[in-house]
Amino acid sequence: MTTHAIIERIAAIVGPQGLLTDPRDLEPYVVDWRGIYRGASPAVVRPASTGQVAAVVELCAESGTPLVPQGGNTGMCGASVPHATGREIVLSLARMNRVLEVDALNNTMTVEAGCVLANIQQAAAEADRFFPLSLGAEGSCQIGGNLSTNAGGVNVLRYGNTRDLVLGLEVVLPDGRIWNGLRGLRKDNTGYDLKHLFIGAEGTLGVITAAILKLYPRPAATATTWTAVPHPEAALEFLSLLRRHCGDRVTAFELVSRNCLDLVLHHIPGARDPLPKAHDWYVLAELSDSHPGHALRRELEVALEAAIENALVLDAVIAENEAQSRALWRMRESIPEAARAEADMLYRHDIAVAVSKIPEFIREARSALVGRFPGVNIICFGHLGDGNLHYNAFVPGRKRNDAAAREARDVTVVVYDIVQRHHGSFSAEHGIGLAKLDEMRRYKSPVEIELMLTLKHALDPRGIMNPGKVLSGDG
Ligand code: FAD
Ligand code: ZN
C-alpha cells in the first residue's frame, strides 16, 4: 500500500477533523519541546475514540506503517516526535480528552488518555478530592504521556510516581486489539500485572487510551520552610527527623546548593535570598494535611527547633502565607532557567541513587569533575527525599555552537560512571527516548536489555510502535 493509500484509509476511519497533512499544521507535532529533535511525518492522526485508535493501529500493522503516539509533546528525551525519515505517522491523543467518571467513594477517576493533567487536577478538586501528580508542564502534558513516561514531579515523596497513582489501563496493542484493563481495584492478584508493562514504556508497546487514577483527600493546610543546612548529610538527617515528627505529612523535600541560589539571585528578576546570611546548602521542605488550621505550622516549628538543637539546621524561615510559600518555591523552580541563562553548554543529568547514598555521590562527583575539568561549575539541586538529583554542570569556555563541545560526553560519562558504581539510575524522571540510547547500551546489563527486547518483539513483532525509542535496533 502506498503512503497516500494508507492516509486515505485513515481519513475514512477518523474523518476530516481527525487528520492533518498540511506541513504548516504538522510543525508543532514534529519538533520536541526543547527544540533538539526535529523529525518529519506524512500525517498527524487525531482519533476521537478507542475504536478509532484500534482501527488506525490495525491498518498500520497490516501495512507495516510505523507510528508515534503523542500526548502534549512536552517530553524531555525526544520520544514523542518522529524520526527524520518521514515514514512515521504521529498519533495524537489530544481529542480524547474526556473525564469519563469520578467515583468519590472509591477514590478513583476514569479518564481518556488525552486529558491534560491540569484538567484532571481540576476535576478531582471539583469532587473534593486530590490528584497528586504535579509538574511544570501540567498545563499542556496529557495523562497518557505522564503514564508513558512514568512522570515524577514535586509530590513523589508522599504519593509516588505516576505508576503509583494508577489502578487500571485501557491499551490498544500494536496489532490493533484492545486490552481493557480498566479495573478500579486496590487488590487484584490475577496473574501478571500487565498495566505496569505499558507505564514508562514511552509508547513502544502500545497506545494507552484510558486510565483509572487514584484520588486522595484534598490538602487543606500547607506549611513551607526554607532552611540552611551545613552539608548534605545534615539534610538527610533533617529529613529523617522531620518524618519522625510529622510522618506522612512531609510532601516535598528539595536540596539546593548555594551555587544554584547565586545563579537564581543573579539571573531571575525579583529573586531575594530568603535568609540574612549565605550558607553552602539549603532545603526547601513542605508539609501538608487534610485538616485546616495552624497545627501544621506548629508541628513544623517544633521539628525545626529540634533540628537546630541537633545542629542539623543552621537557620530557617517559615512562609507566613501562600504568597511567601510561592516565593520560596520560585527560588527552587527558577534554577533551570537561571542555569540556562548562565551557561551556554550545560551538561544535564537526572540521576537517582539510594537516598542514603546522596551525600557520598555529591562528594565523589564533585571531586572527580573538579579534578578533570578545572573551573567546572556544578549546579546541584533536586528531590533529595526521592534520591533524585538534577546534577548539572558546565565547563567555562565550552560553547553550544562548538561542535566538539557538543559531542563531548566526557562530563556526562564521569557523572554516570559514579552513579553506576552506586547502583543508581541515569534517568530518574524523564525516560530514555532518543536522548539516552548510548547510556542504555553502556550501563544496562545484557540480561536486562535482552528481556526488554523479548517483550518488545512479543508485543510488537512488526516493530511499528514508536520504533528506535528506548531500545536501539529494536525494529
Ligand atoms: P509526550 O511528550 O507527548 O510523550 C512522551 C512519551 O510518551 C513519548 O514516548 C510518547 O510516544 C508517549 N506517549 C504519549 N502519550 C501516549 C499514549 N497515550 N500512549 C502511549 N504512549 C504515549 N517530568 C517529570 O517526570 N517530572 C517533572 O517535574 C517534569 N517537569 C517538566 C517541566 C516542564 C516545563 C516540561 C516541559 C517537562 C517536564 N517533565 C517532567 C517532562 C515530562 O516527561 C512530561 O512533561 C510529561 O510526562 C510527558 O507528557 P506529554 O503528554 O507531554 O507526553
Ligand atoms: Zn525534577
Q: What is the pLDDT of residue 399?
A: 82
Ligand lying nearest the CA atom of residue 153: 1
- Check if the beta carbon of residue 354 is closer than 8 Å to that of residue 388: no
All structural domains of the chain with their residue ranges = 3-94, 99-217, 221-336, 343-443
197, three cell numbers: 508493562
CA of 271 to the centre of ligand 1 (A): 29
- Lookup result for grid cell 512536552: 74
Per residue in 126-149, pLDDT (tens digit) is: 999 999 999 989 999 999 999 999
Residue of 70, 93, 95, 436 to mutate, ligand 1, most atoms within 8 A of C-beta? 70
Q: What is the pLDDT of residue 474?
A: 53
**Residues contacting 36, CB < 8 A, separation 6+:** 78, 435
123, HSE (Cβ side, Cα atoms, 13 Å): 23
CATH 3.30.70.2190 is held by the domain 221-336: yes
Ligand lying nearest the CA atom of residue 351: 2
Q: Identify which of 114, 120, 149, 154 has the alpha carbon closest to the alpha carbon of residue 134.
A: 154
Q: What is the pLDDT of residue 118?
A: 98
Strands 89-92 and 67-70: parallel
Per residue in 88-104, pLDDT (tens digit) is: 999 999 999 999 999 99
- Check if the beta carbon of residue 7 is closer than 8 Å to that of residue 49: no
Q: What is the pLDDT of residue 475?
A: 42
Q: Which residues pair with 283 in a beta bridge?
A: 227, 255
Instruction: Name the H helices within 228-294.
Output: 232-246, 258-267
Q: What is the pLDDT of residue 157?
A: 94
Residue of 46, 133, 141 to mutate, ligand 1, most atoms within 8 A of C-beta? 141
Q: What is the pLDDT of residue 216?
A: 97
Decide whether 221-336 matches 343-443 in CATH topology: yes
CA of 469 to the centre of ligand 1 (A): 14
72 lines ligand 1 (CB under 6 A): yes
- Lookup result for grid cell 518483539: 457
- Check if the beta carbon of residue 173 is closer than 8 Å to that of residue 179: yes
- Lookup result for grid cell 482501527: 55
CATH 3.40.50.1820 is held by the domain 343-443: no
The CATH class of 3-94 is alpha beta
- Check if the beta carbon of residue 331 is closer than 8 Å to that of residue 274: yes
Q: Identify which of 457, 450, 359, 376 has the alpha carbon closest to the alpha carbon of residue 412.
A: 376
Q: What is the pLDDT of residue 402?
A: 78
CA of 306 to the centre of ligand 1 (A): 40
Instruction: Name the H helices within 18-160.
Output: 23-30, 50-63, 117-126, 143-149, 156-159
79 lines ligand 1 (CB under 6 A): yes
CA of 305 to the centre of ligand 1 (A): 40
Per-residue pLDDT of the chain (475 residues; tens, 9 = 90+): 899 999 999 999 999 999 999 999 999 999 999 888 999 999 999 999 999 999 999 999 999 999 999 999 999 999 999 999 999 999 999 999 999 999 999 999 999 999 999 999 999 999 999 999 999 899 999 999 999 999 999 899 999 999 999 999 999 999 999 999 999 999 999 999 999 999 999 999 999 999 999 999 999 999 999 999 999 999 999 999 999 999 999 999 999 999 999 999 999 999 999 999 999 999 999 999 988 877 899 999 999 999 999 999 999 999 999 999 999 999 999 999 999 899 888 899 999 999 999 999 999 999 999 999 999 999 999 999 999 999 999 998 888 777 777 677 899 999 999 999 999 999 999 999 999 999 999 999 999 999 999 999 999 999 999 999 999 875 4
152 lines ligand 1 (CB under 6 A): yes
Instruction: Summarize the chain as % helix, strand, coil (round to 5).
Output: 40, 20, 40
Give the CATH fold of the 99-217 domain. Answer: 3.30.465
142 lines ligand 1 (CB under 6 A): yes
